[in-house]
A = this chain, B = another copy of it.
Amino acid sequence: MTEQKKPLTLIKGHIIEAKSFSDPVITENGWLAVEDGVVQGVFSALPERYAGAPVEDYSDKLVLQGFSDMHLHAPQYPMLGMGMDLPLMEWLKTYTFKTEARFEDTAFAREAYLRLASELVNNGTTRVCIYSSIHTDATLILMEELERAGVGGYVGKVNMDRNSCECQESTLQSKRETLRWLDACDRFSLVRPILTPRFTPSCTDELMRWLGETARERGVFVQSHLSENKKEIALVKELHPDCEQYWQTYDKFGLWTDHTIMAHCVHSDEREQQAMIDHNVLCVHCPDSNINICSGFAPVRRMKERGVWVALGSDIAGGAQLPMLQVLTCCLRMSKARAIATEGLEPFLTVGEAYYLATSAGSRYFGDRDGFAPGNPLHAVVLDDAALPPSARTLTVKERFERAVYLADDRSIAAVYGSGRRIK
């Protein structure tokens, strides 16, 4: 169900905002005023000026912010949950590159991406920063299907001209196709292009340099991977002996700039973290991927305390969970793994903190302010927890929220609003 934007709507329910990296701010029986798809404000009593406006009544339901999945691989959707017993390199060769290569077939791409977009919406993910494959046409199909479903964000045709088996392009081809793709993106309104060198080992210096120049000339953001595991870090060091640290292999080509997205950063040390802070680089924490591929326990709280901008990603298909509610609880569990591994030195994350990472931290990337701030486009998820187990007493809204985060699946998601319109 994708509706048009409405001139003025009031959304009624228990409104749960991630206004900061801490407990959510809850307005019980509140009103969320929306005009032309843009949030006007959250009110505990209805202001007189809105009297008589049409109401979408979610009384006693939970109104959460829409989720932002800030790192995932669209062409790995067909291999979700597969090959999880394999070591990383074998997994890449047996599944990943072969699966991505299939997206040369535009009919297959259409089928997979139609389904992916629908599953994103169904689970309340309203914005993404997403990897496509090297294929320009499949990338445009992905953009079409996301936009049609009402999912906004950034989509990247992948660049890789070395060390990538079936999926490799020549350097020339990579440049030419990137330009063809960028020129074809003007027609989209919800989704925009983002330059996507897969990661340092899969791009030649020439390609990296060209991508850095193109990013600057065209004013396009960049996404890639950083310090995911120790073998990868050693390989990067081998490939770029002039760089002391992994991040510098992006920096030297102009790819380490404001709003650059770096997935993982599991093993980034203080200096690499400081470089993120200095350049307003977004670190995307992908907890399920980190555990499935045995990358390590990312120091999320430590990074947050230091001032690194951190958001969440499903990283399918290293992650086996597309629903951001699952990614959120996986983030909580992995923060507990970190707490165990550090013997409590780094306390685990709370539900409210992880909710912030899954919503506001990502939506900032798109220019929003935290929570349902006036001026933000409406991105919201309505949770109906009535079908969850009977409880032993009346629960507070905060308790219901926490419980729903752990237990709800798409069946509990009664409505989704993306970019100002109802999309589920």
A interface, CB within 8 angstroms of B:
77-85, 98-99, 102, 108, 111-112, 115-116, 119, 288, 291-292, 294, 296-297, 320, 329, 332-333, 336-337, 339-341, 344, 348, 350-351, 388-393, 395, 399, 402-407, 409
Complex contact A406–B320 (CB within 8 A): yes
Complex contact A84–B351 (CB within 8 A): yes
| 6 closest cross-chain pairs (CB), A and B | A81-B406, A102-B392, A81-B403, A99-B392, A78-B392, A81-B407
Complex contact A336–B389 (CB within 8 A): no
What distance in Å separates the Cβ of A186 from its nearest Cβ neighbour in chain B? 30
Complex contact A294–B339 (CB within 8 A): yes
CB nearest to A288 among chain B residues: B333
* 20 A-B pairs in the complex with CB atoms less than 8 angstroms apart: A77-B389, A78-B390, A79-B391, A80-B403, A80-B407, A81-B407, A82-B391, A82-B406, A84-B351, A102-B392, A102-B393, A108-B390, A111-B390, A112-B390, A115-B390, A292-B333, A296-B340, A297-B337, A340-B341, A409-B409
- With A98-B392, A102-B392, A407-B320 already in contact, the answer to whether A402 and B340 are too (CB < 8 A) is no
Copies of this chain present: 2
**Residues of the B chain whose Cβ atoms lie less than 8 Å from the Cβ of A82:** 391, 395, 399, 402-403, 406
Q: Which of A81, A115, A399 has the most CB of B within 10 A?
A: A81
Kindly state the separation between the CA atoms of A235 and B79 in the bound complex, as whole angstroms.
47
Q: Which of B294, B392, B402, B403 contacts A348 (CB 8 A)?
A: B294
**Residues of the B chain whose Cβ atoms lie less than 8 Å from the Cβ of A112:** 389-390
**Residues of the B chain whose Cβ atoms lie less than 8 Å from the Cβ of A391:** 78-79, 82
CB nearest to A295 among chain B residues: B340
**Residues of the B chain whose Cβ atoms lie less than 8 Å from the Cβ of A340:** 291, 294, 296-297, 337, 341
**Residues of the B chain whose Cβ atoms lie less than 8 Å from the Cβ of A77:** 389
Kindly state the separation between the CA atoms of A80 and B405 in the bound complex, as whole angstroms.
11
CB nearest to A405 among chain B residues: B81
Complex contact B339–A84 (CB within 8 A): no
Kindly state the separation between the CA atoms of A339 and B344 in the bound complex, as whole angstroms.
19
Kindly state the separation between the CA atoms of A119 and B405 in the bound complex, as whole angstroms.
19
Complex contact A291–B389 (CB within 8 A): no
**Residues of the B chain whose Cβ atoms lie less than 8 Å from the Cβ of A79:** 391-392
